[in-house]
Structure 1
Amino acid sequence: MNRYVIAVRRWWTVPMTLVSLVLVCGTVGTSMVPVPSLTGSMGGAQLAYFTPVLIVVAVMYCMERRLQQAESTAVVPIRLFDCAALALTALLAHVAGLVVGMDVARNIMLLLALAVVARRLANEATAAAAGLLFLILNLILGRAYDAAGHGAHTWWAIALYPADSTGAWLFTVLLFALALVLSGLGNGRGSAHAR
């Protein structure tokens, strides 16, 4: 089964992607990317804000790779390995967060949770795109101004919250726990064939 997880699922790509994320954040992460807003002005976001999508794409790549017959006859359900890999990815993201910022680690968990839920409803490609769409919607629709005219964010734009926001962390952890439960229940559209 270990060979299956390494050779077929290729979970080794996720730690390599985390290393790439750290390198990108360390070298060009502070570069600004222009993003339009609803107020008609052109805002921006640091490139590091979008890097969690790299991890989501790598995880969805691993979860998409499967041999249906091998999974249906396995002694230990592959979805348990997937849950363990998701939890390990979140843990490694927090280790990387010590270098790149804990808001990036939180957003990795948040986007992974959204991707697993989207995968349950659709497929891996949709799941990977859902994270990027969520980040863009946060930037375009989630920015606001407080009474003093300073830039702020709306209550639902969790990805824009600072790293020390308890509410954002609580929401992210609850959504991630839900995603792990959903991942343990099956593999979305392909799960009927894998059981």
Structure 2
Amino acid sequence: MNRYAITVRRWWAVPAALAVLVLICSAIGTSTVPVPSLTRGAGGAQLAYFTPVLVVIAVMYCLERQLHEAETTAVLPVRLLDQGAVVLTALLAHGAGLLVGMDIARNVTLLLGIALLVRRMANEATAAGAGLMFLILNIILGRAIGPNGHSTHAWWAIVLYPSGNMPAWLLAVALFALALPLAFSRTSVSR
């Protein structure tokens, strides 16, 4: 099963994506990139907001790689291996969050939860795209100017919340916990 996880599923891509995430976040710091806003918010977003997509794409890449014949005859259900690998990814993202910011770790967990829910109804490519689309919608539509004239975010733009915001953490963890068993159930479309 270890060889299957390394050679077929290629789960080694996820720690590599996390390492790239840490390197990119360390290199760019709080650099911003101009992003259009439809709600008259600030004109730029931190480049680090986009880095969690790297991890989501890596996870969906690994989940997409399958050998149906080998998986149907395996002693240990491969979906349990995949489920464990996704949980380990979220834990490793929180370890990386200690280096780059816990808001990045929260966003990895949130986007993974969204991608896993979409994966249940569609496929892995659509799931990775849904995570990216959610991120872009939060950045474009979720920024606003507060009553004091400073840049703020909309209440629903969870990706933009600071790392210490407890409701954002609870929502991200709840979505991930809900999506995890649903994405790997036997009735899932992608399985």
Normalising by the smaller structure, the TM-score range is: over 0.9
Unaligned runs of 5+ in 2: none
Match in the other structure for 1:151: 151
Q: Is the 8 A contact 2:41 2:143 kept in 1?
A: no
SS of residue matched to 1:185 = coil
Matched, 1:170 2:145: no
Partners of 1:153 and 1:35 in 2: how far apart?
Answer: 14
Deviation string, structure 1 residues 10-40 (Cα, Å, up to 9, x no partner): 1011001101110001112432211101146
Q: Check 1:79–1:186 CA distance in 2 against 1; reply closer, same or farther (3 A cut).
A: same
Match in the other structure for 1:134: 134
Match in the other structure for 2:69: 69
Partners of 1:56 and 1:136 in 2: how far apart?
Answer: 14
Q: Is the 8 A contact 1:82 1:183 kept in 2?
A: no
Match in the other structure for 1:19: 19
Match in the other structure for 2:102: 102
1:57 maps to a residue whose letter is I
Partners of 1:73 and 1:35 in 2: how far apart?
Answer: 49
How large is the Cα RMSD of the aligned pairs? 1.5
Match in the other structure for 1:119: 119
2:13 maps to a residue whose letter is T
Unaligned runs of 5+ in 1: none
Superposition deviation, residue 94 in structure 1: 0.5
Q: Is the 8 A contact 2:121 2:190 kept in 1?
A: no
Deviation string, structure 1 residues 57-77 (Cα, Å, up to 9, x no partner): 000000000000111111111
Deviation string, structure 1 residues 87-121 (Cα, Å, up to 9, x no partner): 10010000100000000000000000100111111
SS of residue matched to 1:188 = coil
Matched, 1:45 2:27: no
Partners of 1:80 and 1:91 in 2: how far apart?
Answer: 17
SS of residue matched to 1:11 = coil
Partners of 2:27 and 2:53 in 1: how far apart?
Answer: 17
Taking structure 1 as the reference length, what is the TM-score of the superposition?
0.93
SS of residue matched to 1:33 = strand
SS of residue matched to 2:43 = strand
Partners of 1:128 and 1:29 in 2: how far apart?
Answer: 25
Aligned residue pairs total 191
Partners of 1:28 and 1:144 in 2: how far apart?
Answer: 24
Taking structure 2 as the reference length, what is the TM-score of the superposition?
0.95
Superposition deviation, residue 187 in structure 1: 7.6
Matched, 1:93 2:97: no
Identity value in percent = 64
